[in-house]
Structure 1
Amino acid sequence: MTGEPRIPCGHAAQPASAHANDAIAHIVDKASLRAALKAARRARDPLEKARLDALIGARVLAWWRSHSARGTEPVLGVYWPLRGEPDLQPVYLALAGAGVRLALPLVVAPDCALAFVEWVPGEAMVSDRMGVAVPAVQRVVGRPDVLLVPCLGFTAERFRLGYGGGYYDRTLEKEPRPVTVGVAYAGERVAFAAGQHDVALDVVLTEG
């Protein structure tokens, strides 16, 4: 992992819920942080969410275009949006149209690393054991070269707060790790003490 972000991560103008975000940023207990961040996502106006998602998507697309290796066929691990996560499906469609191979994570068992299956936008989908959409025909691929990681929260040091299942932590335990690109809203930057198994992301992309 690199010690510095690969592109600058600025901060966007504070949203209407700035006071709520300020309060969340001062919670240090992970369980309380998760609850507060989930509540903030549920309260977000759908039109505002769509606007933010478009901005995040533009940054993800720009990052990919400037960092993907020429002359190779890297696999990009993406995610299906759940629980108010940034919806990047228009970006996935654009990338697939440009010939980028995409893969979605698959939960194969509790307390295990994620597997990944190749995905083409528009193909038939089913729900996995966790209720997450995955391709109906599962074409297992190796660990992606680059992995988009949805963040419920993130720290200034690029440590990720997820939902507590530990699937991404276990996936990133072994070297060599894929390049990890966290995806989050700017107002979800928080502070907490990193645990023994926490792995800093290479970069976190937000709307700002």
Structure 2
Amino acid sequence: MTGEPRIPCGPAALPASANSNAAFAHGADKAALRAMLKAARRALDPAQKAQRDAAIGARVLAWWRGRAAGGGAAPLGVYWPLRGEPDLHPVYADLARAGVRLALPLVVAPDTALAFVEWVPGEDMLSDRMGVAVPARRRVLERPSVLLVPCLGFTTERYRLGYGGGYYDRTLEALPRPYTVGIAYAGDRVEFAGARHDVALDVVMTEEWSDC
């Protein structure tokens, strides 16, 4: 749906990255992987990061427009970027102007699934208990059926490496599962042994490619 040749969605389909962090130590300790990926993001040149964010945003926007054209329009769960995550605010603004209903995640308590609140870009924001921006006026929604999920890292099998809080893991446990689009930089691909609770993402989008 991006106007580029479709990449098959099998585990071996994810291509190598020209910007790889070379984090392919299978079974590597997740804490060490997190530290390495965080350091790589801190070292990323701001201008280069902005270019990568724009490229990811273009893919997300094209994908969503194709989904809507096929009758798949629905509320979209998005995220507020933290710790160097890809910043998709320009895309959010475009989607909102097109009438797409957006929802941001909200941490309601430790060790629980995320709640979701309606968000209109530009409205007043506050920080939640985790220091994440949420709308000052909270309008709670049902969990959206489609979620953009930020990844600190991801594997060839589309398992996500987050910050260790487990909030998205718990959010994805309940059926029916939402359709999940992992958002990451191409160099964030790593390898680790998946745990029993890990749920594979449906799609991963980076600045270099998307497997959808």
The alignment's TM-score, normalised by the length of structure 2, stands at: 0.89
Between the aligned partners of 1:71 and 1:155, the Cα distance in structure 2 is 30
Aligned residue pairs total: 198
Give the unaligned 5+ runs of structure 2.
1-7
Between the aligned partners of 2:176 and 2:90, the Cα distance in structure 1 is 30
Between the aligned partners of 1:168 and 1:61, the Cα distance in structure 2 is 23
Give the unaligned 5+ runs of structure 1.
none
Report if the CA contact (8 A) 1:9-1:206 is conserved: no
2:122 alignment counterpart: 122
In structure 2, give the amino acid aligned to 1:126: L
Shift of 1:74: 1.1
1:187 alignment counterpart: 187
Between the aligned partners of 1:49 and 1:56, the Cα distance in structure 2 is 11
Between the aligned partners of 2:36 and 2:25, the Cα distance in structure 1 is 11
Q: Partner of 1:36: helix, strand, or coil?
A: helix
- The Cα RMSD (Å) is 1.7
In structure 2, give the amino acid aligned to 1:165: G
Between the aligned partners of 1:26 and 1:114, the Cα distance in structure 2 is 31
Shift of 1:119: 0.2
Report if the CA contact (8 A) 2:67-2:73 is conserved: no
1:34 alignment counterpart: 34
Shift of 1:9: 5.1
Between the aligned partners of 2:32 and 2:71, the Cα distance in structure 1 is 46
Judged with a 3 Å threshold, the aligned counterparts in structure 2 of structure 1 residues 65 and 114 are, in CA distance, closer, same or farther, namely: same
Shift of 1:71: 5.5
Q: Partner of 1:31: helix, strand, or coil?
A: helix
Shift of 1:73: 5.3
1:91 alignment counterpart: 91
Q: Partner of 2:35: helix, strand, or coil?
A: helix
Between the aligned partners of 1:150 and 1:137, the Cα distance in structure 2 is 24
Between the aligned partners of 1:67 and 1:73, the Cα distance in structure 2 is 6
**Is 1:67 paired with 2:62?**
no
Q: Which runs of 4+ in 1 moved over 3 A?
A: 8-12, 68-73
**Is 1:134 paired with 2:134?**
yes
In structure 2, give the amino acid aligned to 1:67: R
Judged with a 3 Å threshold, the aligned counterparts in structure 2 of structure 1 residues 69 and 109 are, in CA distance, closer, same or farther, namely: farther
Shift of 1:26: 2.4
Between the aligned partners of 1:135 and 1:100, the Cα distance in structure 2 is 17
Report if the CA contact (8 A) 2:150-2:182 is conserved: yes
Deviations 1:45-69 (A, max 9, x none): 0000000000000111111112236
Between the aligned partners of 1:59 and 1:98, the Cα distance in structure 2 is 17
Between the aligned partners of 1:158 and 1:62, the Cα distance in structure 2 is 21
Percent identity over paired residues: 71
Between the aligned partners of 1:60 and 1:143, the Cα distance in structure 2 is 20
Q: Partner of 2:33: helix, strand, or coil?
A: helix
Report if the CA contact (8 A) 1:59-1:205 is conserved: yes
**Is 1:158 paired with 2:158?**
yes
Judged with a 3 Å threshold, the aligned counterparts in structure 2 of structure 1 residues 54 and 42 are, in CA distance, closer, same or farther, namely: same
2:24 alignment counterpart: 25
**Is 1:206 paired with 2:206?**
yes
The alignment's TM-score, normalised by the length of structure 1, stands at: 0.90
Between the aligned partners of 1:68 and 1:168, the Cα distance in structure 2 is 25
Between the aligned partners of 2:87 and 2:14, the Cα distance in structure 1 is 19
2:4 alignment counterpart: none
Judged with a 3 Å threshold, the aligned counterparts in structure 2 of structure 1 residues 69 and 116 are, in CA distance, closer, same or farther, namely: farther
